[in-house]
Amino acid sequence: MQKYGAACPQCQGRGRRVSRAWLRARRLAAGLTQAEMGRQAGVSRAFVSQVEHGQRLPSTRVVRAYEAL
């Protein structure tokens, strides 16, 4: 299975990526479970898990939800 990084919304096509580790670290630093993060981002807990494990690419909305923590 191919692993992905998430496109950084502020990078505006400059090719920078947001790492899975950064996403997970942001969530944990905020003291949120994957289910709580999913509710804040408007996605399922399973989707949050898939993003943090590199199985899915997050939308800009999801990355912004992590940035807002």
Burial label, 55 (beta-carbon count in 10 A; 0-12, 13-18, 19+): middle
Q: Is the pTM of this model over 0.75?
A: no
Q: What is the CATH number of the domain that holds 23?
A: 1.10.260.40
Count up the domains in the chain and report the number: 1
pLDDT at 19: 85
Rg (CA), the chain: 11
pLDDT at 57: 86
* pLDDT tens track for 7-57: 544 444 444 467 888 899 999 999 999 999 999 999 999 999 999 998 988
Does some domain include residue 50?
A: yes
Does some domain include residue 1?
A: no
Structural domain boundaries, residue 48? 6-67
- CA angle (61 as vertex; 60, 65 as ends), nearest 5: 115
